[in-house]
Structure 1
């Protein structure tokens, strides 16, 4: 997962640089195009890298079996309904955390809480750097205490702390640093082990579709609507309710995670 936080750090630093160096008129006129131009070039690089990478040996051994499956999406529901429910349960909270801290909270802080845009991007950049640094120790911690306990702490702590943290989203770099750093640091408990947790839910021949379909559906429903929900609530002066919405999602994720087996020493099926 180190590529994702690195990309997020570059994006937040770019946002900080643009807001610090360009005026509002310059940002509106041409500055907003700069991230898209850089992203387009990096996207082409990503396509080239993906085409040159080799699949795992296990994938190659099961490729023919996977192609022979009929109605694989139905098979995941019929034979692995528990895995589907578990994936949706904890992915819902993971998605809400991601879109809240890395997307929705930035415009919310500026537009609805009158925070300075430069301070917001600086706080996000520092928190994202922390996000990168914590991936490896949090992954190592899960090898010691287990993946399930780590996810339970993440979901429980998010349920308890997300609403108090939201009160710190207001003008002042110190307040923003605490809100972003604590929330994102908690999130690393999930992201540091997410690929392993998801991969262990389904057998190899169903893994790509089982994770891809249900994870992306969850992301679309809960993550894609997060910025819209937070702005809609803000228009009615109910912005605090969004963070209660995340807290409820964290409670649901907690009970979904409780049904997971502990797999820290197990081999993939």
Structure 2
């Protein structure tokens, strides 16, 4: 993500609009394709966990596993959808939708937007390990409550800082992505702890990606659509999602220090 935002900054500075429209926009996709192949190569060499190896026969015998997640683990599905809704909105808002919104709706300079996003992304990377360590100390649930509650409170005021000046953009991306690390630093653990091993891959894969498709996939469309009505309506939408996620997270059991089933 950091490479992508820095590349966006470089392209916005080095190329004019005509060059970007004709061929410059293809460069990030080509680079992403290379990284995709590298990722595929890396994943082929990963070993499965002992617990998976012990239960994969049981998993293969499951009939209608997707239905089983709903009938046997409805709370897990609901919780996963609840906090993933906000997580994916945070991701697509700060890493994707805000860039074009700031340029088109708030007349921000594209180079300034990518510069601020690059700084925010560097902070996002730097905070992953400290926030993960903090969750091991204070618990998953309190950290997620702070993330969702703070996002509900600050996302609308933050949106008013989007504009031509780089200072306001830095505050928006650093605060938004800084808060988001409270979730991303522990997201794999939180999701894995919701389902038993034999249903974990499907339980997370299906419901997580469906939620991402619905809420993340529509984020760029909605920020454009809502922007034509009100400059802050989309951010109120994110704030409502954050409030819902907060209520869902309140129902989560604390799993700090426990071992996966």
TM superposition score category, shorter chain reference: over 0.9
Superposed counterparts of 1:190-201, under 5 Å: 190-201=183-194
| Equivalences, count | 261
Name the counterpart of 2:225. Answer: 232
Tell which deviates more after alignment, 222-231 or 46-55. Answer: 46-55
CA displacement 1:44-66 (0-9 Å, x = unmatched): 12112222221111111111111
Name the counterpart of 1:250. Answer: 242
- Kindly report the root-mean-square deviation, in angstroms, between the aligned alpha carbons of the 2 structures: 0.7
Matched, 1:128 2:121: yes
Q: For the residues of structure 1 that align with 2:235 and 2:166, how far apart are their CA atoms?
A: 21
Tell which deviates more after alignment, 38-47 or 105-114. Answer: 38-47
Tell which deviates more after alignment, 45-54 or 218-227. Answer: 45-54
Residue of 169, 173, 177 corresponding to 1:184: 177
Any stretches of 5+ residues in structure 2 without a counterpart?
none
Name the counterpart of 2:84. Answer: 91
The alpha-carbon deviation at position 239 of structure 1 amounts to 3.0
Q: TM-score w.r.t. structure 2 length?
A: 0.99
The alpha-carbon deviation at position 175 of structure 1 amounts to 0.4
8 Å contact from structure 1 (residues 162, 246) kept in 2: yes
Q: TM-score w.r.t. structure 1 length?
A: 0.96
Matched, 1:66 2:50: no
Matched, 1:34 2:3: no
Superposed counterparts of 1:201-216, under 5 Å: 201-216=194-209
Name the counterpart of 1:3. Answer: none
The alpha-carbon deviation at position 235 of structure 1 amounts to 2.4
Name the counterpart of 1:259. Answer: 251
8 Å contact from structure 2 (residues 105, 227) kept in 1: yes
Name the SS for the 1:168 alignment partner: coil
CA displacement 1:104-147 (0-9 Å, x = unmatched): 00000001110000000000000000000000110111111110
Superposed counterparts of 1:4-153, under 5 Å: 8-153=1-146
Name the counterpart of 1:222. Answer: 215
8 Å contact from structure 1 (residues 231, 239) kept in 2: no
Q: For the residues of structure 2 that align with 1:188 and 1:44, how far apart are their CA atoms?
A: 27
Any stretches of 5+ residues in structure 1 without a counterpart?
1-7
Q: For the residues of structure 2 that align with 1:46 and 1:160, how far apart are their CA atoms?
A: 37
Q: For the residues of structure 2 that align with 1:158 and 1:38, how far apart are their CA atoms?
A: 32
8 Å contact from structure 1 (residues 152, 258) kept in 2: yes
8 Å contact from structure 2 (residues 227, 233) kept in 1: no
